[in-house]
Amino acid sequence: MDFDLSDDQRMIKDSVERLIADRYGFESRRALMRNPEGWSREMWAQMAELGLLGVAFDEAHGGFGGGPVETMLIAEAFGRGLVVEPYFATVVLGAGLIRRAGSADQQAAYLPQVASGELLLAFAHHERHARNDLAHVAATATEQDGVWTITGEKSLVLHGDTADKVIVSARVAGETTDHNGIGLFVVDAVGLNRRGYATQDGQRAAEIAFDATPAEAVLSLDGFPAIAATVDAAIAFVCAEAVGGMAEMHSSTVDYMKTRKQFGRAIGEFQVLQHRAVDMFVNLEQSRSMALYATMMAEEPDAAERARAISSAKVAIGRNGRAVGQEAIQLHGGIAMTMEYKVGHYFKRMTMIEKLFGDTEHHLAKVAQAGGAL
């Protein structure tokens, strides 16, 4: 057991942290977000240049041959920077599904384009009444003359407004909540009926309607296992991202307490506030531990063991992220209530992560049903 990084991993960490430090300060981020698409294509090209987009792909697909640890390092740095480029949608979700469900030919066709930054993806899966049920798919896919067409409405599609291609889940058999009979299709986004919008945390999403829309490729006609595995990996990603955000909130709070003066002294001299900052630190460290655990279990082949670990991590991150975020705002006081100040933006991202892919209550119930976390 060791927590040390390999030389290659340290190189990735250094390069992504340098990118965030140099190019992703609070003001720079606001400038990036002023692009019409809500993020920067130039930044995306730079991420491709640094090899971040293909970090987990095989070398044959233009990748780096990395795994969950490399992805975690990127996620944590992105969390510190509150990155708005569509990495999660394209690389973690879109390419994640292609890697898990696609054929060798499909992987060879799509993944190099993702790694080079030419192809943006999104995962059109969630539907209006699915809530936390990953198997809830009412959209349908039917085949005629060798062509599959999709009909149905997909909601909250992260970065669905700018994706070049969309991976769509659609039912090929069974009832709306059956695990079996969910197909995964690649649909060209040109001409799609999609309504894009901003999210609370400065990301983008879209509502997308499919009306006998033809698919350009079928990844799988039994896609649920790949969906579950990809979503588990995605949760591991946002757990690490949340740790980056919590670390920023915590250090920002501690710095502020050392400089902010009231009653003639730095507020950090008050023990009651020190202890609250310590509790934030304890929550941060416990979160870091669970993000590591999620990383360690993200590619676990036993789906039940993997899901139990990932749900445990999501619960811990959800609770700690909420506590750290609320305390960061409280300990800063009024300044943290302003859009001009960075802490509130981390708090908003934490809050959205808690609701993403199943909230705390949902994952807690899953862990409990699975017989506990140990």
Residues forming contacts to another protein in the complex (CB under 8 A) are 1-6, 9, 69, 254, 257-258, 268-269, 271, 274-275, 277-279, 281-282, 285-290, 292-293, 296, 312, 315-316, 364-365, 367-369, 372-374
Nearest distance, CB of residue 250 and another protein, angstroms: 9
Q: DSSP letters along 27-77, please?
A: HHHHHHHTSTTSS-HHHHHHHHHTT-TTTTS-GGGT-----HHHHHHHHHH
Secondary structure (3-state) at 30: helix
Are the C-beta atoms of 217 and 150 separated by less than 8 Å?
Answer: no
Are the C-beta atoms of 202 and 244 separated by less than 8 Å?
Answer: no
Closer to another protein by CB, 192 or 297: give it: 297
Nearest Cα to Cα of residue 226 among 158, 131, 125, 327: 125
Cα–Cα dist 248/335, whole Å: 16
Closer to another protein by CB, 75 or 187: give it: 75
Nearest distance, CB of residue 365 and another protein, angstroms: 6
Cα–Cα dist 237/359, whole Å: 15
Closer to another protein by CB, 51 or 318: give it: 318
Closer to another protein by CB, 133 or 188: give it: 133
Strands 147-158 and 265-266: unpaired
- The continuous run of DSSP H or E covering 183 comes out as strand 182-188
Nearest distance, CB of residue 132 and another protein, angstroms: 15
Closer to another protein by CB, 173 or 282: give it: 282
Q: Residue 275, CB half-sphere, CA atoms under 13 Å: how many?
A: 3
Nearest Cα to Cα of residue 66 among 41, 95, 43, 86: 95
Closer to another protein by CB, 278 or 304: give it: 278
Cα–Cα dist 185/215, whole Å: 6
- The continuous run of DSSP H or E covering 70 comes out as helix 68-81
Nearest distance, CB of residue 356 and another protein, angstroms: 18
Nearest distance, CB of residue 43 and another protein, angstroms: 28
Nearest distance, CB of residue 308 and another protein, angstroms: 10
Q: Around Cβ 171, how many Cβ atoms within 10 Å?
A: 22
Nearest distance, CB of residue 265 and another protein, angstroms: 12
> Residue with structure tokens 């009412």?
138
Nearest distance, CB of residue 205 and another protein, angstroms: 29
Cα–Cα dist 171/180, whole Å: 9
Closer to another protein by CB, 161 or 327: give it: 327
Closer to another protein by CB, 147 or 368: give it: 368
Cα–Cα dist 155/168, whole Å: 11
